[in-house]
Amino acid sequence: MEKITIINPYGTSITFEQGVSGFMLISRGDLGATQSILQTDTGYLQRGTTVTQKRYASKTLNLTLGIKAASDTDMQSRLKRVTRLFESEYNEADDLTKFTIIFEKTGFTTKKTYGYLQITPSFLNDNENSRGNYQRSFCSFLLPEPVWFADTETGENLATKTNLFEFPLDITTDYEFSQISSDGVVVVNSGDIRTSLIIEFDGIATNPKIENVTYGESLKLNTTIVDGDVVTIDTSYNNPRVEINSGGVISNVFEYIDPKNSDLNMTLRRGNNTLLFTSDDASPAVARVYYTEKYITPFGGSDE
């Protein structure tokens, strides 16, 4: 059994389901179809070309939807709900706001994606399309990032350094104090492709750093985070950001990034990734990472 839930920019939603009477999912396009865009270069006296960049192209999601009602009154009510569902709006940057599309299928974990409405469903009240209070129509969405996301975000605590207690100590002989070291935390990305990270540093920490030891990527800040402040770093390619929350006031602090020791678009690769948190002091601090797994099709992962 398959279900597709469409959520518009206002938060209104309808679930269309196969094999039911009401809001019906009659058919859908190929959810796994992807295209790649390759950027190539040709060097001096080189035969052929070398791929220098590869990315997935946008794709369309086509749906045939149906409405089955018990009466004319019920049909009109359902048509009004669908009409309101497919309302779109522009944001402050004069861009169309995205719809959220959630896909559910028996035996697979729930996935979601985001798209712009290309073709609005049109229900024609003619003889062929309104017999027995039944109507069907076609709609289409453009998916600018043609992947499916896990329905839940995963969070991992990389390290927590806290001062547990204090006590008086009269040192009358020589002692050597050493810092507890760690090999890092293994974070598993079960998705099909790499995914971006949201990193949080919760003070106190001087020059905090996250390193993906497995793949040699790192991200470091040149600053001291004071007690009570939280720095959030989003490594997504389309919308990277570095913000600090100080007393409830959020400010852009992109200048905190250490350009010599940072991969701003640091990612979590598919499979095991060992992430290590370090800082230049031993003050109380917390480091967390959050990520959402990405799938080429919504059939990755299972309910079992």
- Could you check whether 2-146 and 154-295 share the same CATH topology? no
Fold for domain 2-146?
A: Elongation Factor Tu (Ef-tu); domain 3 (2.40.30)
C-alpha to C-alpha distance for 28 and 16, rounded to whole angstroms: 11
Residue 111, Cβ neighbours under 10 Å: how many? 24
For the domain with range 154-295, which CATH number is right: 2.60.40.1930, 1.20.1250.20, 2.60.120.880, 2.40.240.20? 2.60.120.880
**What is the gyration radius of the CA atoms in the chain, in angstroms?**
26
- Tens digit of pLDDT per residue, the chain (304 long)? 899 999 998 899 999 999 888 999 999 988 876 666 555 555 555 556 565 555 566 788 999 999 998 888 998 899 999 999 998 776 665 567 889 999 999 888 899 999 999 988 887 766 656 566 788 899 999 998 888 999 888 888 886 544 333 334 344 444 333 233 467 899 999 998 899 999 999 888 899 999 999 999 999 999 999 988 999 999 988 788 999 999 899 999 999 999 888 888 899 999 999 999 988 887 667 899 999 999 988 987 655 4
Cis peptide before 26 (omega within 30 of 0): no
Domain boundaries, the chain: 2-146, 154-295
Q: With contact defined as beta carbons under 8 Å apart, do 60 and 143 qualify?
A: yes
C-alpha to C-alpha distance for 22 and 73, rounded to whole angstroms: 13
Q: What are phi and psi of 148, to 5 degrees?
A: -115, 140
Residue 51 burial (CB < 10 Å; 0-12/13-18/19+)? Answer: exposed
Residue 193 burial (CB < 10 Å; 0-12/13-18/19+)? Answer: middle
Please name the residues in contact with 282: beta carbons below 8 A apart, sequence gap of 6 or more: 161, 179
- Could you tell me the pTM of the whole model? 0.77
- pLDDT of 45: 53
Residue 128, Cβ neighbours under 10 Å: how many? 8
Residue 249 burial (CB < 10 Å; 0-12/13-18/19+)? Answer: exposed
